[in-house]
Amino acid sequence: MKTHSARAKIRGLTLLEVLVVLAIFAILAAMLLPATIHNQRGRIPCLSNLKQINIAFIMYAADNAGKFPMNFSGTNGNMTTSVGNGEVSPIIQKLSPYCGHNPAILVCPSDVDRHATTNFEELTDLNISYFINADASANNSAFSILAGDRNLEAASQPVKPGLFVLTTNVYMRWTDSLHKRRGCLGFTDGHAQLAGTNLNSIIQNQPLAINRLCVP
């Protein structure tokens, strides 16, 4: 029969082991949590930004015969030159009344190289984190990319600012500059999603085989 002191000793040892295990878990959590929080803080607002941008495009199209700003090629609101140069800011400026006059939604929180301007009149591509697909289609809108993070990589080379012609047979992935080899995409039906290694499958599902991306 165990004495009272022996039982207390066993209970004390068991409690100590539990405390040691809890301490180890606490240390591991402290090491991993900051990186997780940082990534989530960057991704969730980024998805929210793209949803707001998507809605702005959709509202603009509803007021302009179903056309997005980059679809105009006539003398009134001609976007041909801007798209040809791969410029994003002139396109976005057309959306300003539909963006709540809030240019901060144009900058991804993880994009330390881009800073929001205070008004759309002074907007340049250096105040924007997201590319715009000049050939975004209302057909198959749940699959048609409208906008997304600019940290694209094509054939192992970062995509430079300007006009980038995206074809469905080019191997694409994300650089690690924003979301650790991931990126956020917005679609013409209004939804936004986080993409990783499935980026190429998303691109291959585009309604058009060739898409011109304006990259800031």
pLDDT higher than threshold 70 for residue 88: yes
Burial state string for 169-189 with b = 16 or more CB within 10 A and e = fewer than 16? eeebbbbebbbbebbbbbbbe
Percent of the chain at pLDDT > 70 equals 79
Whether the pTM exceeds 0.85: the reply is: no
Is pLDDT of 138 > 60? yes
Are 211 and 80 in contact by the 8 Å Cβ rule? The answer is no
pLDDT value at position 52? Answer: 95
Q: What six digits make up the tokens of 199?
A: 């980026």
| pLDDT tens digits along 166-214 | 998 899 999 998 888 899 999 999 999 999 999 999 999 999 999 999 9
Q: How much of the chain, in percent, has pLDDT values that exceed 90?
A: 67
pLDDT top residue among 90 and 7: 90
